[in-house]
Chain A
Amino acid sequence: MTATLERPVTAPDAVAVRRRDRSNLVPILFLAPAGVAIVLFVILPAVLSLVASFFSVPLAGGAWQWVGIANFQRVLTDPAVLQAIGNTAVYSVITIVPSLVIGLTLALLANSVSRGKPFVRTALFLPMTANLVAMAVVFRWLFAFQGGFVNQLLGFVGFGAVNWLGDTDTSLITVALVGVWRSASFSMMIFFAGLATIPGTLNEAAKAEGIRGFTKLRKITLPTMKPTVVFAVVLAVLASVQAFDTINVMTQGGPQGSSETILTMSWKLGFGYFDLGAASALSFLLLVVLIGVGILQRRVLSGGSK
């Protein structure tokens, strides 16, 4: 698809008219590849996921069997699934708020340092790029019960060892710590980019008025970058609900389902127990929650600067 789509520059009127007639053809051709892919790999599967949640779906192929809302009833009465739903809520709360607060604090700090700014910034951005499987491997040893660095450190300052990943009381918190490590870095990057969009004149005006510290943050900085703040919130919510790699590698949902989330559970239902109907029902429930988040995002995206 090269110059064949084009007509000579100094075309006579007749050609120009002909070109105008098919003027929408090229834009439609431009949209077509992305459009077809989006229909095939996003819209169609999302609709099928909804449909599948009302059927019993044999993984090996063969006829789907209509079961009505039985899949939803089953997942919503299964204690293991309810535990996973509860864990997801807890995991979200203990990762979203800290990662946003830490991300914002670090962005403000990194923005204000006078020396070594590039190094500080790079160091703080690095967790964002980490391969979560590789990092989960590392964190598993850092939090190992015997000989793990964290317990060594605790012992050094006189505390007893904690079985971070092996104890039902601490496994969820431990995987959440890794989640915060990662998404605080991502939040920071977004806040950092947002801070750069605040006009310098506004900062100077605040300085002239003697507004600083928390007052400045609350009255000037945060309101000015409101779209950034909401964008960061939405991404933090999505990251927390979609956490999978770390849990899959560090605990596989255990011990006793104590670190199982909706996502790891729907994975288990689908590909561990081959119950694709129930897995679809559960992932569809997740979609409903995310659409709620999405409506918020949409409102902000369309209400940005227009």
Chain B
Amino acid sequence: MTHALSVGRWLLIVVAVLISLFPFYWMLRTAVSPADEVFFDGISLVPSELDWSNFVRAWEDANLGRAVLNGVIVTVSILVLQLVTCIPAAYVLAKVKMRGTGLVLGIVLGCLLVPAQVTLIPTFIGVNMLGLADTLTALVLPFVTSAFGIFLLRQQMMSIPDSLMEAARTDGLGHFRTLRNVVIPMAAPGIAAFSVFSVFTHWNDYMWPLLIARSTDIATPPLALGVFQQADVGLDYSALSAGAVIVTAPVVILFLFAQKRFVQGMSGTEIPG
């Protein structure tokens, strides 16, 4: 490797890292800036003083406390329901030889192709007909299972050696205990990766809450932020930015802790076995 090439490579990496991180930095900078320093003349990358009151205003004016609570309830409920529905289904599709599993797997793969947006309108009408509009239940209901989750977990479970399944059977373990004592521990990396993915997706989801949540009492964090930025908050960009930090931080922190496992677990998806 020549010296010039190496310098060029580092330059590219530095530029990429800067572009990657800059919006996050800008969000933080605006969130701690006094309100009159959001827009500026010349290039001032740091605020003259730190103003933490922006967070208080965002928390109160955008009703973010309530939204964060709603977000936690919705995200955790979806995660638990998806794990309860996806893990047993993935186990059957990966490890139980039964007539019809091929067809079921085909249907699951087919469902991966249907984007949420196509099912949006009928689901909206259905949820309304059930009288569930504007409830937390409506935010959770369409996501009780995940075709992607079944697919990802099946990939992980495929790699469990059949000899282990045989051993479980000779020990007299039924399906339930085989799943609990053998399969779940072995598929833990995939389960962890899917959990992170599920939390990302549903914490950040904007479209369905925008459609189904009417009152601010059941707004999720992105929705509360979206409403806040459209509402008449004047030019309070500092508070809006503080709100953006509050909405972004939980997922970023989760990712920082889980990233290695997440990337490993996700890599299982591209080479099905």
Q: Which A residues form the contact surface with B (CB < 8 A)?
A: 1-3, 5-11, 19, 24, 26-27, 29-31, 33-35, 37-38, 41-46, 48-49, 52, 57, 61, 102, 105-106, 109-110, 112-113, 120-127, 129-135, 137-139, 141-142, 144, 146-149, 152-153, 156, 181, 185, 189-190, 192-194, 196-197, 225, 227-228, 231, 238, 241-242, 244-245, 248-249, 263, 266-267, 270-271, 276, 279-280, 283-284, 286-287, 290-291, 293-294, 297-298, 301-302, 304-306
Structural contact, B121 and A279, CB atoms closer than 8 A:
yes
Can you give 6 A-B contacts (C-beta < 8 A)? A33-B84, A124-B16, A134-B247, A134-B248, A181-B20, A283-B121
Query: Is B77 an interface position by the 8 A CB rule?
Result: no
Structural contact, B176 and A1, CB atoms closer than 8 A:
yes
Structural contact, B222 and A133, CB atoms closer than 8 A:
yes
Binds A, one of B49-57, B184-192, B200-208: B200-208
How far apart sit A126 and B252, CA to CA, in the bound complex (Å)? 7
- Nearest B residue to A133, CB-CB: B222
Q: How far is the CB of B241 from chain A (nearest CB, A)?
A: 7
**Which residues on B sit within 8 Å (CB–CB) of A7?**
172, 174
How far apart sit A196 and B271, CA to CA, in the bound complex (Å)? 12
Q: Which of B39, B119, B245, B259 is A125 in contact with, Cβ under 8 Å?
A: B259
Describe B's contact surface by its main secondary structure: helix
How far apart sit A43 and B106, CA to CA, in the bound complex (Å)? 13
Query: Is B46 an interface position by the 8 A CB rule?
Result: no
Known A10-B172, A287-B118: A141·B38 in contact at CB below 8 Å: yes
Structural contact, B111 and A38, CB atoms closer than 8 A:
yes
18 other contacts beyond A24-B98, A181-B20, with CB at 8 A cut-off?
A30-B89, A38-B145, A42-B111, A46-B114, A124-B17, A124-B20, A125-B263, A126-B24, A130-B248, A131-B222, A133-B223, A135-B23, A138-B27, A185-B20, A227-B270, A228-B271, A279-B121, A305-B273
Q: How far is the CB of B4 from chain A (nearest CB, A)?
A: 14
**Which residues on A sit within 8 Å (CB–CB) of B176?**
1-3, 5-6, 26
Q: Which of B16, B84, B204 is A106 in contact with, Cβ under 8 Å?
A: B16
- B13-41 interface (Cβ within 8 A of A): 13, 16-17, 19-21, 23-24, 26-27, 30, 38-41
Structural contact, B115 and A110, CB atoms closer than 8 A:
no
User: Which has the most chain B C-beta neighbours within 10 Å: A138, A228, A241?
Assistant: A138
Structural contact, B226 and A6, CB atoms closer than 8 A:
no
How far apart sit A30 and B145, CA to CA, in the bound complex (Å)? 13
Structural contact, A244 and B117, CB atoms closer than 8 A:
yes
Structural contact, B263 and A306, CB atoms closer than 8 A:
no
How far apart sit A152 and B38, CA to CA, in the bound complex (Å)? 13
- B85-123 interface (Cβ within 8 A of A): 85-86, 88-89, 91-93, 96, 98, 104, 107-115, 117-123
Structural contact, A37 and B88, CB atoms closer than 8 A:
no
Known A37-B144, A126-B21: A26·B174 in contact at CB below 8 Å: yes
Q: Which of B19, B96, B245 is A27 in contact with, Cβ under 8 Å?
A: B96
**Which residues on B sit within 8 Å (CB–CB) of A38?**
107-108, 111, 145, 147
Known A38-B107, A306-B273: A290·B113 in contact at CB below 8 Å: yes
Q: How far is the CB of A74 from chain B (nearest CB, A)?
A: 16
How far apart sit A274 and B263, CA to CA, in the bound complex (Å)? 42
Query: Is B161 an interface position by the 8 A CB rule?
Result: no
**Which residues on A sit within 8 Å (CB–CB) of B98?**
24, 27
Structural contact, A133 and B247, CB atoms closer than 8 A:
yes
How far apart sit A240 and B32, CA to CA, in the bound complex (Å)? 33
Q: How many positions in chain B have a CB within 8 Å of any CB in the partner chain?
A: 101
Structural contact, A42 and B147, CB atoms closer than 8 A:
yes
Structural contact, B121 and A152, CB atoms closer than 8 A:
no
Structural contact, B92 and A30, CB atoms closer than 8 A:
yes
Structural contact, B120 and A283, CB atoms closer than 8 A:
yes
- Nearest B residue to A24, CB-CB: B98
Q: How far is the CB of A93 from chain B (nearest CB, A)?
A: 19
- B140-157 interface (Cβ within 8 A of A): 141-145, 147, 150
How far apart sit A6 and B164, CA to CA, in the bound complex (Å)? 19
Structural contact, B122 and A52, CB atoms closer than 8 A:
yes
Known A227-B271, A301-B272: A37·B263 in contact at CB below 8 Å: no
Query: Is B70 an interface position by the 8 A CB rule?
Result: no
Q: How far is the CB of B222 from chain A (nearest CB, A)?
A: 4
How far apart sit A29 and B176, CA to CA, in the bound complex (Å)? 11
**Which residues on B sit within 8 Å (CB–CB) of A280?**
121-122
How far apart sit A185 and B24, CA to CA, in the bound complex (Å)? 14
Known A193-B264, A193-B267: A113·B13 in contact at CB below 8 Å: yes
Q: Which of A5, A10, A45, A283 is B174 in contact with, Cβ under 8 Å?
A: A5
Q: Which of B123, B243, B256, B259 is A45 in contact with, Cβ under 8 Å?
A: B123
